[in-house]
Amino acid sequence: MRKPISLFALALISVITLTGCGGGSSTPEESFIEGSGAVTNIAVSERNPAPTLSGLTLSGKTFIFKPGQVAVVNVWASWCSPCRAEIPTLIELAKQYPEVQFMGILTRDNPANAEAFARRLSMPYPTFIDDSLLIGFKGTLPANAIPSTVLVDKNGNVAARISGEVTLTSLSKLIRKLEAE
């Protein structure tokens, strides 16, 4: 004679079956890849143009980046712990290097949450809310993990990327190198 399956066992089987079919989590917090902090530099002769960086920002304004100065483009999300941890460093560097254009690209996040976070920290630079801008980096140094920070040279070409949390020293060194070119 077979024993009846308890409701708990039936529920557990259902959960296991449903999770196995999902192929992973659907929430960005559980499916992101954290960068390692590795720095990638591109020789001047091998650099490709950065995509056009323009669009609506967290503040509700349109921003258009015009090449001619070094730019730091940080890809982040307000739910990402390493992203939140590096924002004070980016804010400090934006103040230390006023001639450098700092920008953010929000990815897989709720703009209202990110805007509240940015406002609380008084982020002095614009953050684009359209993460389709990331597609434009595909042929150069894609931001395939967050946080990722891409540096653009004065000619508008992608020059370097930090995959993972930036440090004051690593990003300062890259900025100074690009400014000297």
- pTM of the predicted model as reported, rounded to 2 decimal places: 0.79
Instruction: Rounding to the nearest 10 degrees, give the CA dihedral for residues 74, 138, 141, 66.
Output: -50
Report residue 39: phi and psi, to 5°. Answer: -105, 130
Q: What Rg value do the Cα atoms of the chain yield, rounded?
A: 20
- What pLDDT, on the 0 to 100 scale, is given for residue 87? 96
| In the chain, domain spans | 27-180
Which candidate, 60, 121, 125, places its Cα nearest to that of 96? 125
pLDDT band at 143 (very low <50, low <70, confident <90, very high): low
Provide the CATH number for the domain formed by 27-180 in this structure: 3.40.30.10
- Between 170 and 38, the more confident residue is 170
The yes-or-no verdict on residue 46 having pLDDT over 60 is yes
pLDDT band at 38 (very low <50, low <70, confident <90, very high): confident
Query: Residues 149-153: what's their mean pLDDT?
Result: 96
Query: Residues 32-41: what's their mean pLDDT?
Result: 63
pLDDT band at 15 (very low <50, low <70, confident <90, very high): very low
Which candidate, 133, 121, 113, places its Cα nearest to that of 58? 113
Query: Residues 67-87: what's their mean pLDDT?
Result: 95
Which H/E stretch holds residue 8?
helix 7-22
Cα separations (Å) of 45 from 107, 176, 177? 30, 19, 15
Instruction: Rounding to the nearest 10 degrees, give the CA dihedral for residues 64, 70, 155, 174.
Output: -140
The dihedral through the CA atoms of 82, 88, 92, 94 has a sign that is positive
